[in-house]
Structure 1
Amino acid sequence: MIENASALFNRITHGVYVIAVANGSEQNAFTAAWVMQVSFAPPMIAFSINHGHYSYKLLQASGACTVNVLGQDHLAIAVHFGRSGVKKKMSTYRWQAGKTVAPVLSDSLAYFDCKLSHTTDAGDHKIAVCEVIDAAELNTGWPLLYSQTDNMDGSSNLYKS
């Protein structure tokens, strides 16, 4: 067993993102911190997603998503989209159309509009590997780092001691 696992894993540097998905009129978004670039040609991004969540079902059905980069003043956005079971979760913030069916968070620093390439198992999550088909900077600022969110997601309770 790893002693103090939560604190040690917080030493891995990564940002905080909102992943948005849609299938027809159904839309959802969730907060993610496990996101990374995985290829230059073609440009690809991978992220971790809980395969039991509603967003995963929409991602599988539509094959598209956006990865929206949050800024340091977006902790409230991260908390909002980190909650499960919120009715009309998307109505609280402004969205715009991207090239895929997935919505783009207007307040984000930047976005990556993606089509799903494939998923693979990763413990209690899936890794979604996506090809970036469009991307743009929307607002200026510094990205929010996961280590700056304290225990926003309650992850420290998930490590077995």
Structure 2
Amino acid sequence: MTPPIELFRLLSCGVYVIGVTDGTQYNAFTAAWVMQVSFTPLLVALSINPHHRSYAMLKAGENFTVNVLGEEQRELARHFASPIADRLAKFPWRPGKTGAPILSQALAYLECRLEENYPAGDHRLILGRAVGGALLRPGEPLLYRDTDDMDGASRLFPTQF
């Protein structure tokens, strides 16, 4: 039987930097579990570990940005996945109209307001209403399958179903 990790790596998804703020603090983190879930209204789903410090900011501020990374930005994705305190310090960014960080070097971004927050196993499923966004430059998006085991997820998968 095929191990779950080999099958789940075939699920297509991009790599994003999620920007959050509670109005006084800012943070950003790398995420792959992001997708559109509705046309009317425009809704985006995001999966986040509730023990991540950004979750408390997202919950308090009720806004987030989805910064789309380009295929050449693996090191940027790795930086925002690292456990350093101020991940935004080294990169140019600006607050969007919701206040959440927009990375200057992203391909594109969406600004979202929190709509719903649901339990989802060891994560929380956040639904956000897209309230703005822009294409910042042309390019191809970075895909999760192309990041190898950058996030260490291979340690978390069960060896069988």
Same fold per TM (> 0.5)?
A: yes
1:6-155 mapped onto 2 (5 Å cutoff): 6-84=5-83, 86-155=84-153
Number of residue equivalences:
159
Shift of 1:87: 2.0
- In angstroms, what is the RMSD of aligned CA positions? 1.1
Q: Structure 1 counterpart of 2:125, which letter?
A: I
Partner of 2:133, secondary structure, is: strand
Shift of 1:3: 4.1
Partner of 2:58, secondary structure, is: helix
Shift of 1:92: 1.2
Shift of 1:97: 2.4
Partner of 2:57, secondary structure, is: helix
**Alignment TM-score, normalising by the size of structure 1:** 0.95
After superposition, the C-alpha distances for 1:58-89 in whole angstroms (9 at most, x for unaligned) are 001000000010000110111011122x1221
Shift of 1:143: 0.2
Q: Share of identical aligned residues, percent?
A: 45
CA distance in structure 1 between the aligned counterparts of 2:3 and 2:90, rounded to whole angstroms: 36
Structure 2 spans left out of the alignment, 5+ residues: none
Q: Structure 2 counterpart of 1:66, which letter?
A: T
Shift of 1:29: 0.7
CA distance in structure 1 between the aligned counterparts of 2:114 and 2:105, rounded to whole angstroms: 24
CA distance in structure 2 between the aligned counterparts of 1:20 and 1:89, rounded to whole angstroms: 10
Structure 1 spans left out of the alignment, 5+ residues: none
CA distance in structure 2 between the aligned counterparts of 1:11 and 1:3, rounded to whole angstroms: 12
Q: Structure 2 counterpart of 1:20, which letter?
A: G
Partner of 2:36, secondary structure, is: strand
Q: Structure 2 counterpart of 1:8, which letter?
A: L
4+ residue stretches of structure 1 with deviation over 2 A? none
